[in-house]
Amino acid sequence: MAELTFWTGTMDAGKSTLALQTNHNHAARGRVGRLYTSHDRAGVATVSSRLGLTAEAYEVTGDFDFWRTTVDALTAGARIDYFVCDEAQFYTRDQIDQLAKIVDELQIDVFCFGILTDFRTRLFEGSARLVELADRTELLQVEALCWCGKRATHNARTEDGVMITEGEVIVVGDVDVPKDEPAVVSYEVLCRQHHRRGLTAARARAVSLAPDPLPFG
């Protein structure tokens, strides 16, 4: 039986790497799939991993219809065994409903990968619906770490190096920015305690007057 599976974790936990590996593994066994993404930091219609891996994909826009697109493709003679859906947190509730319908009615496996909560610590629309509907929700096994060494559980957004907690939900940025040259918008993973305090690695360095933040609670 086909399944709808949701793999989730913070930024830096390897979700896009696992999405690409999943696609590779199934394709290597002769299965035919489609790779989807939305708002990837590398650009439109691309799945990218911080390890340097990339692959072309279908871009999921706000008005994209998974059900209609899939039915049209199958009617035209296409073979589809599975979907790999990266950045699934950015999908709409309706699109997640469509993916669940594709699993149930068309017996196509759907593997979704995404972040659970945004920089405000609130559930993304797509992720919330996946938690409600997925046959299985799996936590990524690679643990991202806060600057203090604790397990990172929250995603922080910074603007010019300063952590913010309000603003547009979807703003593309990256966690890989030079320490001394903060991007206009960038992201950092933090433990709950330091997210609550707004204590980023840069701020911790400034407060401690040390080259690297000290492992204090």
DSSP string, the chain: ---EEEEE--TTS-HHHHHHHHHHHHHHTT--EEEEESS-TT-TTEEE-TTS-EEE-EE--TT--HHHHHHHHHHTT----EEEE-SGGGS-HHHHHHHHHHHHHH--EEEEEE-SB-TTS-B-HHHHHHHHH-SEEEE-SSPPB-TTSSBP-EEEEEETTEEE--S-S-----S---TTS--SEEEEEE-HHHHHHT--HHHHHHHHTSSS-----
* 87 in catalytic set: yes
User: Within 13 A of 108's CA, how many CA atoms are on the CB side?
Assistant: 26
* Given 59, 87, 105, 181, the catalytic residue: 87
d(CA 83, CA 94): 17
Catalytically annotated residues? 87
